[in-house]
Amino acid sequence: MATKTLVKTLAVAMGLAISGISLAGAPAAWNKAGGEKDKAMTLKPDLENGLDVYEVCSACHMPEGWGMKEGTFPQLAGQHRTVLIKQLADIRALNRDNPTMYPFALPESIGDEQAIADVTAYIEKLPMNPDNGKGDWAEGTPEFEQGKQLYDKNCTQCHGKNGEGDENKFYPKIAGQHYKYMLRQFEWIRDGKRRNANPDMVKQINGFSDKDMAMVINYTSRIPVPKEDLAPSKDWLNPDFD
């Protein structure tokens, strides 16, 4: 446990140290073929090695893969493996700016394409947090209903009616994700700060006001997650870390 705490402390410190350094390069196409992403998806995952690799990730994303309800780190548990592979490969290729995670995503920290294949397969199998961070507006409030209307009109084409995403098209599962994390990412995508964002989404949400953004993400954070995808309770602990 002391080792995990140390890794987390180093991660935060490293992020602060290099946060002023631009990692930006020329943005690649949103889902350009080739590179680590495509290779990792062809490899047979080794879940035992995936657990070993995930120990590095667990310092920030927690052993359960649940991240932080206050949104510093996203929930990874249960996410589509294709999405996880793409995002990890994009960070390593400097197509997505994440200075806190970048040093720990490098091959010298976690390994090559096989490690990507292994750790993403492990993460995908983790049960999700049954108590994710949610927005302030409960079902029945005007803001909840407006958020639902915005979601139905703008988001279902890619993320699905129930926030299930699409693993074949690299659309992430967003049901069960933390409100504050999604809100930050939505704002960055809308404002052009997340360089590996799907350009179709950038166009779709270009006209959203800050209130629109908060309402639609509030609704998204409250989409029920299928029971079979959830851990048995919010107190569940990953037995692999006993």
Q: What is the pLDDT of residue 28?
A: 62
- 88 with 152, same domain? no
- Residue 218 domain-assigned (yes or no): yes
CATH number for the domain spanning 193: value is 1.10.760.10
- CA distance linking residue 138 with residue 146, whole number of Å: 12
Closest CA to 26 of 93, 103, 82: 93
Q: What angle do CA 118, 120, 61 make, to 5 degrees?
A: 120
165 within 8 A of 78, measured Cβ to Cβ: no
Low-confidence stretches of the chain (pLDDT < 70) are 1-28
pLDDT tens column, 33-84: 889 999 999 999 999 999 999 999 999 999 999 999 999 999 999 999 999 9
Give CA separation, 21 vs 104, 144, 190, in Å: 16, 39, 22
Q: What is the pLDDT of residue 174?
A: 98
- CA distance linking residue 5 with residue 107, whole number of Å: 22
- 106 with 205, same domain? no
Query: What's the structural domain count of the chain?
Result: 2
- 7 with 40, same domain? yes
- Residue 137 domain-assigned (yes or no): no
Say whether pTM exceeds 0.85: yes
- Residue 16 domain-assigned (yes or no): yes
N- to C-terminal Cα distance for the chain? 10
Residue 184: which domain range?
Answer: 142-224
- 119 with 159, same domain? no
Q: What is the separation of C-alpha 82 from the centre of its chain, rounded to a whole number of angstroms?
A: 12
- 35 with 123, same domain? yes
